[in-house]
Chain A
Amino acid sequence: MKSLVIIPAYNEEKSILKTVNDIKEHAKSFDYVIVNDCSMDKTLELCREHGLCVLNLPVNLGIGGAVQTGYLYAYKNGYDYAVQFDGDGQHDASYLEKMRDYMKDRDVDLLIGSRFLEKEGFQSSGLRRFGIRYFSHLIKLLTGVRITDPTSGMRMANRSVMEIYANCYPKDYPEPESAVAILNVGKKIEEYPVKMREREEGVSSISPIRSVYYMIKVTLAILVEALRK
């Protein structure tokens, strides 16, 4: 059984090595691949220097395009499980093997690492939590499935979901939308309680100015996705 960690990286020179070491140490049975989304800092040089496995995108595609590249790679190379894992030190690799076992045992198609199931670790700021709860309710309303952390970027897919994502994945702010897309084709999504850290380096892709765009775009995307059913 082959498993892959997909690490989308955009300007992560300060944390990428730490992330890879975390995976090598705490998730030994996983391979990893870094997707360098045209970083402007030394991320690529650093990866090459240390001989890390890296997919180098020639133009900046944004988080959605980068993650999709990882799923494409995983699918083409015959991996059974692929997990998205942030390169900025927010996620903890020691959960990965437990998550995979859980998926296998319960025959889950997509397993999302949730901060809010056990409410431990970094819980995000108040306003952001409010947004997350709103998306959670919206998804529940449209699909009947409760996802407590729909914006979590830590999610593990089996081959069937990998194939769907390799063909079609939203461009920006993809997490809630891609979960609904999977639910609509009858896949089974569950959540696994994880602790996340506050990001060590880099800034969130969601700045205050963009958050309005974020809310509107993701809401519409979820509604459109529900219409596709």
Chain B
Amino acid sequence: MMTIKIQIIIGVCLVIGLAAIVNMIRRRRLELKYALSWLIAIVFVLVLDCFPTLLTRISRMLGIWAPVNMIFFLGFCFSLLIIFTLTVTLSRMSERVRRLSQAVALNEEKIEKLLKEKEEKTT
């Protein structure tokens, strides 16, 4: 069993985190789309934290002796998953930035060429 002390510490941390994320979404500093995985992770861990019997049952099922370890383990798995998703997103984003900048460079050159032609025609 988890002690009530660690239960409260974990619970408080999660609620603070949840409030911070919701607040950031409210102020449009965070996009809901990308914050969603964090919200789900926090709520999930919070539920387990509030209902230790459920937690105990699941951890026994998985063969984890101390239920608090299961919270840590789950949190760790979620974090890894989220970080990996970010790396994937980062790869895609950098590819898009590259394509965009290349398009900008080519267009700029085209515009300058056209302007020069126009100038030559008028003079």
Contacts and interface: CB of A to CB of B under 8 A. Distances in A.
Interface of A: 33, 35, 53-59, 61, 65, 68-69, 72-73, 76, 171
A65 B97 CA distance: 10
Nearest to B105: A55
Size category of the B interface is 10 to 19
Contacts of B101: 57-59, 61, 65, 69
A58 B109 contact: no
10 contacts: A55-B105, A55-B106, A56-B105, A56-B108, A56-B109, A57-B104, A58-B105, A69-B102, A72-B106, A76-B106
A54 B94 CA distance: 23
Interface of B: 94, 97-98, 101-102, 104-106, 108-109
B109 A35 contact: no
B106 A35 contact: no
Given A55-B108, A56-B109, A65-B98, 18 more contacts: A33-B109, A53-B109, A54-B109, A55-B106, A56-B105, A57-B101, A57-B102, A57-B104, A57-B105, A61-B98, A61-B102, A69-B101, A69-B102, A69-B106, A72-B106, A73-B109, A171-B94, A171-B98
Nearest to B104: A58
Contacts of B98: 61, 65, 68, 171
A61 B95 CA distance: 10
Nearest to B94: A171
A220 to B, nearest CB: 15
